[in-house]
Amino acid sequence: MKEAMFFEKLGNNRVKCHLCRHHCVIDDGKRGICRVRENHGGTLYSLVYRKLASENIDPIEKKPLFHFYPGSSAFSVATVGCNFRCLNCQNYEISQLPKDHDRITGRDVAPEQIVDDAVNHHCTSIAYTYTEPTIFFEYAYEIAKIAARKAIKNIFVTNGYITREALATIKPYLHAVNVDLKSFSEERYKRLCGARLDQVLDCIRSYKEMGIWIEITTLIIPEINDTEPELKRIAGFIREVGPEIPWHVSRFYPRYRLIEKPPTLIDTLRMAREIGLATGLRYVYEGNVPGEGGENTYCYQCKKILIRRYGYQIVENNIIHSRCPACDAVIDGIGM
């Protein structure tokens, strides 16, 4: 165990956690909503520090990040646990393990070893992903500091519930983020994953204000968030934060506790992409449907195809020094 960051003592051995926006008040001997932060005698501890549950080398496009060093590799890591309880979680075997089975597992791997592995595998970045990186903040923070010293970039793939205080702490070492924006309804957000929409929106604004490159993903689930009015509200919010922010609208497949819903129709993804572009977003992508054409990057000014993709693979890249070769428009992103 490692003493946690971002908590206050309340007296009577109770603590209040300020790592994520749940702000859990935790009695002695109890854990927060994430189930991986535990109060021992009035001190909060992380139960997943140096407990690596998953590691892989992924294309950066899998995060998905299409405007952050496209074509590069990310060394992806995770511990068990999550501060959400999404009914459709695709990695529930590790994210929900502490909640569903009261188990915390993982190999003891030092932060230095994670960075060495990333370097040895020629990865441009380390992605904290699969589960929610906020809940293993202490581990991610130590890894990120070491990685930054070796010119390795750091990426969060996140549900967008970190507090401003915690985000400001890791900001010097965090270079990009993909945030899941799951719905634009407070009621559905609470029902689907046990969180508040307004807090996610504020977190997205925080990433933007702090200058961290941001891309947003919305998994479109039939009969939950697939209506035209809701998609217009999501697109409008993103446009307000920044028209250069890429929006990934991804296909849902039945998973975990949401198996009664059918896969998303490709026509629905196409509608979402058209809504995003019509709203004024420069880049909108269709995810989980390789070969359908919605994965390609186009110049927002002259509409020339710049990056042609098939799934996570780049087939063709025509961008020259972050500019469109046809009209010289600057293409938003980092390492383009």
Q: Nearest Cα to 167, choosing from 131, 192, 199, 119? A: 199
Q: How far apart are CA 190 and CA 176, in angstroms?
A: 26
Cβ–Cβ under 8 Å, residues 132 and 77: no
What tokens were used for 172? 């010097």
Parse the chain into domains and list their residue ranges: 2-46, 51-301, 302-336
What tokens were used for 296? 């390609």
Cβ–Cβ under 8 Å, residues 79 and 136: yes
Neighbours of 196 (CB within 10 A): 15
Class at the top of the CATH hierarchy for domain 51-301: alpha beta
Neighbours of 16 (CB within 10 A): 16
Structure confidence at residue 1 (pLDDT): 86
SS3 content of the chain, % helix, strand, coil (to 5): 30, 25, 45
Local mean pLDDT, 10-residue blocks, the chain (336 residues):
96 97 98 98 98 98 98 98 96 96 97 98 98 98 98 98 98 98 96 96 98 98 96 98 98 95 96 98 96 93 97 95 97 97
Cβ–Cβ under 8 Å, residues 159 and 137: no
What tokens were used for 257? 């506790």
Structure confidence at residue 2 (pLDDT): 96
Structure confidence at residue 103 (pLDDT): 96
Structure confidence at residue 19 (pLDDT): 98
Q: How far apart are CA 160 and CA 132, in angstroms?
A: 9
Cβ–Cβ under 8 Å, residues 332 and 244: yes
Neighbours of 262 (CB within 10 A): 11
What tokens were used for 43? 């001190």
